[in-house]
Amino acid sequence: MSVQLDRTLDGISASMRRLKRAMRGVPVNKHGFRRQHDETAIAVARLVVGLEDSRIALN
């Protein structure tokens, strides 16, 4: 189970890096996208912390 968690966390990290690179070309407030991006990034960060904390229960 720990291997699946590691893969999931690696996939999330890679996706967030790609999103960050993609945001470089977007105007700051284009249709509120920046706000949605920030809210999504915060939600994903909370998810990652929760998954990391659950690692103990999965072992």
User: What's the pTM value of the predicted model, to 2 decimals?
Assistant: 0.74
Assess whether pLDDT exceeds 90 at residue 47: yes
Cα–Cα distance for residue pair 52/59, rounded to 1 Å: 12
Assess whether pLDDT exceeds 80 at residue 6: yes
Q: What is the 3-state secondary structure (H, E, C) of the chain?
A: CHHHHHHHHHHHHHHHHHHHHHHCCCCCCHHHHHHHHHHHHHHHHHHHHHHHHHHHHHC
Assess whether pLDDT exceeds 70 at residue 1: no
Percentage of residues in the chain having pLDDT higher than 70: 92
